Amino acid sequence: MTTNKSLFLIPKFITTPSQNGVGRYVCQLQRVVLKFCKNHGSSRGIREFIEYDLLNFANKNPEVVVYLKPRRHRGPVIKAEYLNGDDQIVFCHNNTREEIAKWLNLLRTQSGNHDGTRLRKLWHTDYPSIQGPWTPYTFRDPALNLAEFPNEELSRPLDQPKTATEELDELFKKQQESEVAESSEVK
């Protein structure tokens, strides 16, 4: 049996590992290994990054341990290790110095490896409903507390239209009321 499961991204919700940021913020990237070749052209960008930007990066982020691993004639790779045990490997063949910096910034600000996943919602709330779940007693008319059953008024269907007799009755009553009002004004 074949499935198309591998074609789809794994759905995920936004989460924070171990209540990060509730107490104090902890950078979730714990170490990063830059693997590169010392003379191959495809590693040029990463070599330039190491030469010009790496010390700044290490100074700014003392919580991240940076390792350099030269490997002869193999493609440049960034391997990131997160506090939750995730590993992420970024292949940066022919990347420029700026692109390497951008990748590292992404890895530094992520909470883990989110490759191959999609977010089902872009927000999260602990209180999906403020007033709570509906029960048969929410918005219940307090008049029902004193009602006695069987009750003719409450037993009628809610959407029953008025009969012609009832409408005529109402009209007659209105007419009488207005006549009474007029006569009282005249007095």
Partner 1 sequence: MALLRRTLVNLSYCLTQTVYNTPVKVPNRAIKRWVAPTLRELERRRKKMESQPLQPRTSYLEWNYDAEIYAFAKRLGETFDDALLRRAFVHRTYVIQQEIKGNETDLQDNRELINEGESFVIDCIKKHFQNKYLPDVVNALQSYLTSESMLSHVASHMGVKDLILSADFPVEKSTLSNTFKAVVAALRQSTDEKRATAFINDFLICQLNGKDIFDVWDLSNPYEYLLRVLKEKGYSEVEPRLCNQSAANTVLANYQVGLYSNKKLLGIGWGESIEIAKDTAALDAIQKLQSIDKI
CA dihedral 12, 13, 17, 21 (to 10 degrees): 150
Min dist. Cβ of residue 13 to partner 1 (A): 14
In contact, 92 and 100? CB cutoff 8 Å: yes
Of residues 17, 75, 86, 114, which one binds partner 1 by CB under 8 A? 17
Tell me whether residue 163 is exposed, middle or buried, using C-beta atoms within 10 angstroms of its C-beta: 0 to 12, 13 to 18, 19 or more: exposed
**Closest among 81, 68, 147 to 108, alpha carbons compared:** 81
Min dist. Cβ of residue 142 to partner 1 (A): 11
* Total residues in contact with partner 1, by rule CB under 8 A: 26
Min dist. Cβ of residue 28 to partner 1 (A): 9
Q: Report if residue 147 touches partner 1, rule: CB under 8 A.
A: no
Min dist. Cβ of residue 153 to partner 1 (A): 20
In contact, 75 and 91? CB cutoff 8 Å: yes
Nearer to partner 1, 64 or 92 (CB): 64
For residue 83, what are the CA distances in angstroms to 35, 91, 110?
21, 21, 11
Q: Report if residue 142 touches partner 1, rule: CB under 8 A.
A: no
Helix, strand, coil percent values for the chain (each to nearest 5): 35, 15, 45
Nearer to partner 1, 96 or 108 (CB): 108
Separation of alpha carbons 46 and 37, rounded Å: 9
Q: Report if residue 132 touches partner 1, rule: CB under 8 A.
A: no
* Contacting partner 1 within 55-114 (CB under 8 A): 62-65, 67, 69, 83-85
Q: Interface with partner 1 by CB under 8 A: which residues? A: 17-20, 22-24, 26-27, 30-31, 33, 62-65, 67, 69, 83-85, 126, 135-137, 140
